[in-house]
Amino acid sequence: MTDKTDFKKTVDAYQAPRGRFRIVDVPDMRYLMIDGHGDPNTSPAFTTAVEALYPVAYKLKFASKRDLGRDYVVPPLEGLWWADDMDAFTTSRDKSLWNWTLLLMIPDWIDRAMVDTAVEQAGAKNRPARLDDIRLEALSEGRCVQTLHVGSFDDEAAVLAHLHDEFIPAQGLRMTGKHHEIYLSDFRRVAPEKQRTILRQPVLAQAAPSKPG
């Protein structure tokens, strides 16, 4: 019987405190990715993206256990979120203007050939509509600030405003990259007030002001 790795417990970047912000150095990780645009609550593209990612992820898990003797828990769904005007995401919450990339992390011992085979197998029966939109890509975020949010997604705005406008500047940092969410709860099954989501923002050090003269 093989041990089953749970990345939520073994990867430090999946740890975040509730009620405070934590600065963490996130290692480069590889993901199954799929892009979309629009309100995740009403956009068919969002639903079909989720429906395409999970069959591939589970094919990989089963292949890893069967062929490599390495079993693991499929990591949580993640999302990158942005808008041309970020106020549409953090303040006005105009979801029709949102862009997103959904992510499922895959272990570093799984190679591209295994991914290609999993995609092929996932399409053998009841082929997901967006299967061909999935890509394998590395994400390099580096230094990030993150916190655990418990509650509905619409209650994130105040937390993000505090993060963006107060905490990050106070640490001598500036935002870079895209807003990142990690869904520790299955939002399809868990009541909004009980949802647990890691909110992450990549950052860089503020450039030192130039000296006169």
Is residue 22's pLDDT more than 50?
yes
CA distance 36 to 186: 20
Amino acid at 209: P
| Structural element, H or E, at residue 22 | strand 22-26
User: What pLDDT was estimated at residue 92?
Assistant: 60
Binned at pLDDT 50, 70 and 90, residue 127 comes out as very high
What pLDDT digit, counting tens, does each position of 150-165 carry?
Answer: 999 888 888 998 999 9
Given the structure tokens 């480069």, which residue do they identify?
28
For tokens 């807003």, the residue is 179
Q: Is the pLDDT of residue 11 over 80?
A: yes
Please determine, for residue 187, whether its predicted confidence score (pLDDT) is greater than 90. Answer: no
* Closest listed residue to residue 80, CA positions, set 147, 204, 178, 195: 178
Integer-rounded Cα radius of gyration of the chain = 18
Question: In 3D, which of 173, 198, 169, 171 has the Cα closest to residue 184?
Answer: 198
- Indicate if the pLDDT at residue 48 is higher than 70: yes
Does pLDDT of 64 surpass 70? yes
- Residue 1: pLDDT band (50, 70, 90) is very low
